[in-house]
A and B are shown apart, each in its own frame.
Chain A
Amino acid sequence: MSRQHEFLQGLRDMLPMLLGAMPFGIIYGSLAGAAGLDAWQTVGMSVLVFAGSAQFIAISLLGGGATLAVLWLTTLVVNLRHALYSATLQPFVRHLPKRWRVPLAFWLTDEAFAVVQQRYAQSDDSPNKHWYFLGAGLAMYGNWVSCTLIGLVFGQAVPNLAAWGLDFAMIATFVGIVVPMLRNCPQIAAALVAAVTALIFHDLPYKLGLMAAAFAGIVVGVALERYQRSSLQQELC
C-alpha cells in the first residue's frame, strides 16, 4: 500500500480507540487545575508527556503534596509496560532511521500499540507500515491534546464530572482489544493468570502488582505454548 494509504488506514483504525480515550482527556483537563497546574501546564503535560495513566496519577499525587522524586518514580513504574511494547515492536522498526524511531516511540501508547502490532502481524509485505504507525500515533495524540483542552475549557460547566464513572471507557477499550486476541489456549491461560495475579497483588504500590501480573501471564503463556508444541496436545482446548 502507498504511504498515504497506510497513514489514513492507521488514522481510521484508531477511531474506536479515540472514543475510549476521550473521557479521560476531558476529565484530566478538568481536574488538573485543582491539583495546582495552571492552564499552560495542564496542556503542556498532555503535549509533552502524553501518557494518560501517568498524568492521572501525577495530578492525584500532586494534589496530595508528593515530592518530585515520588512523582518521577511513580511515572517510571506506571510506564514500565511501554518498555515491553517497545521490545515487541522493535523488530519491525529497527530498519528505520532515527528521525522515524524517535517520534514513533514518543507516540507509543497502549492503544497505538494494540492497533499497530496487529498491522505488523498481517502477512502482506508493505514497506510502508511505519506510515500506518505514524497515522495511528498522531490520531491518538491529536485526540488527547484536544480532549485536554475541552476538559480545561468546559470541564467546570459539568458538575461532578469525576463522579460519572467515565473511567469505564478504559475497561471497554481494553476488553475490545484483548478478547479478539484470546484465540488459543496459551493466550487464554496468560489472561487468566494475569487476572488472578493482578487481583492478589492489587494493593502493592506503584502498580507493581500490574508488572507482577504481566510477567506471570507471559511466563504461563510461553510455558503452555512450549508444552503444546512438544507434546502436540493441541486438542487440550
Chain B
Amino acid sequence: MENWILIFGMLAITFATRYSLFAFPTLRFPQAVRQALHYVPTAVLTAIVVPAMLLPDGLNWALSWDNAYLLAGLATIAIAVATRHLLATIGGGLVIFFLLRWAMGQLPI
C-alpha cells in the first residue's frame, strides 16, 4: 500500500514539474528568459554527461586508462562531431564501450 502512495506522489510531483509552464498559456516570457531557454538542453545534458564519464560510480574520480566510460565517451563525442548522426552516435558509442569493457575484462561473463 505504501508503495502505491509513493508512486502516486511521484506521479503528482513529476507531472507538476512537466506541466508547470504549460498550465499558464497566457504567460509570455520576457526576451531575456526566452534567450536563456536556448541554453537549457546544452547546459542540462552536458551537466549530466560529463560527471557520468569522469565519475562513473557517482563518487570517485576515474581519470585512468581502464575507465571505459571516459574512453568510449570521448570516442562517442568524436563520432558525433564527425557524423552529426544520432543513431550512428548512440550505436557506435555503445559498440565501442562494450568492446572496451570486454577487452579490459570488465564484463561479468
Contacts and interface: CB of A to CB of B under 8 A. Distances in A.
B22 A93 contact: yes
Given A49-B14, A160-B108, A210-B48, A117 B94 contact: no
B32 A176 contact: no
Contact of B87 (A16, A68, A104, A225): A16
B48 A174 contact: yes
Contact of B46 (A48, A217, A225): A217
Interface residues of A, number: 96
B55 A202 contact: yes
Contacts, number: 277
A45 B38 CA distance: 31
Contact of A170 (B8, B40, B52, B87): B52
Most buried by A among B20, B37, B48, B81: B48
B90 A20 contact: yes
B25 A172 contact: no
B72 A168 contact: yes
Nearest to B54: A199
Contacts of B23: 101
Most buried by B among A38, A175, A181: A175
Contact of A168 (B34, B55, B94): B94
Interface of B: 2-11, 13-15, 17-29, 32-56, 58-59, 68-69, 72-73, 76-77, 80-81, 84, 86-87, 89-91, 93-94, 97-98, 101, 106-108
Given A75-B14, A170-B52, 6 more contacts: A44-B4, A86-B22, A88-B37, A91-B34, A172-B90, A218-B36
Interface of A: 15-17, 19-20, 36-38, 41, 44-45, 48-51, 54-55, 58, 62, 68, 71-72, 75-76, 79-91, 93-96, 101-102, 104-106, 108, 110, 113-114, 117, 159-160, 163-165, 167-182, 186-187, 190-191, 193-195, 197-199, 202-203, 209-210, 213-219, 221-222, 225
16 contacts: A38-B3, A75-B10, A76-B13, A79-B18, A85-B18, A86-B22, A88-B40, A170-B48, A173-B90, A175-B80, A176-B93, A179-B84, A198-B47, A210-B48, A216-B43, A219-B36
